Amino acid sequence: MKTYTEEIGDKLNILLEKNYDAEKGYTTASNNAKSAALTTFFERKAIQRKEFADQLKIELISVNQEPTTGGSIAGAAHRTWMNTIAWFSSDTDEAMLEEAMRGEKASIEDYNEVLNASISLPLSIQKVLSGQKKTIVNDTLTIKRLEDLA
């Protein structure tokens, strides 16, 4: 049976891995975007997700858990898919925005799952996760506006 801190570590490492994946995905999207505004948006999102990962690493260390060091196989497959979209799609920006929205919605679900888990999280971790989730939710509104312009 896992200890309390191991359970917290597992949950935070799942989010950490997904933030690594998101950072790499947004970097891929910024490299494939046609519009300068969208390139800037995706670059900002990649930086933001790196910052989220850094915050999660600090929280993991604070509960004496080892942060994971890389993304997931599913994330690598998704980046390959985004490159394929960029290669074959005539409307790359719109397709990448749709993928970004899908990814952000999945992130919100992941954060909700951890925040609503039966395990009681330390207040500092709750604050970090709630703040990150709020930022992601707000960015879905930005993505919707960008989709309307694309």
Distances (CA, A) of 127 to 69, 84, 130: 23, 37, 5
Q: What is the pLDDT of residues 110-128, one digit of tens each?
A: 999 999 988 899 999 999 9
- What mean pLDDT comes out for the span 4-16? 94
Asked whether the predicted pLDDT for residue 87 surpasses 90, the reply is: no
Rounded CA-CA distance 130/48 in Å is: 15
pTM of the model: 0.86
pLDDT of residue 125: 97
pLDDT of residue 115: 96
pLDDT of residue 77: 59
Q: Which domains occur in the chain, in start order?
A: 4-149 (1.20.1260.10)
pLDDT of residue 96: 86
- What mean pLDDT comes out for the span 25-41? 91
Q: In percent, how much of the chain has pLDDT > 90?
A: 64
More confident: 12 or 76? 12
Lowest model confidence (mean pLDDT) among 5-19, 71-85, 116-130: 71-85
Rounded CA-CA distance 56/38 in Å is: 27
Residue 97's nearest CA partner among 112, 82, 80, 108 is: 82
Asked whether the predicted pLDDT for residue 106 surpasses 90, the reply is: yes
3-state SS of 54-103 is HHHHHHHHHCCCCCCCCCCHHHHHHHHHHHHHHHHCCCHHHHHHHHHHHH
